[in-house]
Amino acid sequence: MSATTSLTLDKINALLAKKRVRGLYDKELAVFLDSGEAGKDYSLVEGIFQGKAAVSIASGFNNAIDRSEDKAAKDVVVIRDDDENAVALINRKLL
């Protein structure tokens, strides 16, 4: 038997969901602002936020907004969508 095994993408995402990633919210906020989109959903079922609690994700984005030196960040609203198991970012300036 081998001492190591390959990890599936699901297992990798599950492991990463338990780990704190420095600057993740700042990076995702910058990507959102640069996208020019009026709104974006971040799933808690798959992707980079898989397995994390909506309240934690919302808090992370709100802290990133407070830290951001980009004035456009102040127009972003973070909304927890518990029904859809997601967190949404809305850019009020683009509405």
What pLDDT, on the 0 to 100 scale, is given for residue 94? 95
Q: What's the CA gap between 45 and 10, in Å, rounded?
A: 11
Q: What is the value of pTM for the model shown? A: 0.79
Query: Between 29 and 53, where is the model more confident?
Result: 29
The tens digit of pLDDT for each residue in 42-92 reads 999 888 888 888 999 999 999 999 999 999 999 999 999 888 889 999 999
Could you tell me where the beta strands, DSSP code E, fall in the chain? 39-43, 76-81, 86-91
Assess if CATH 1.10.10 describes domain 9-94.
no
pLDDT at 2: 63
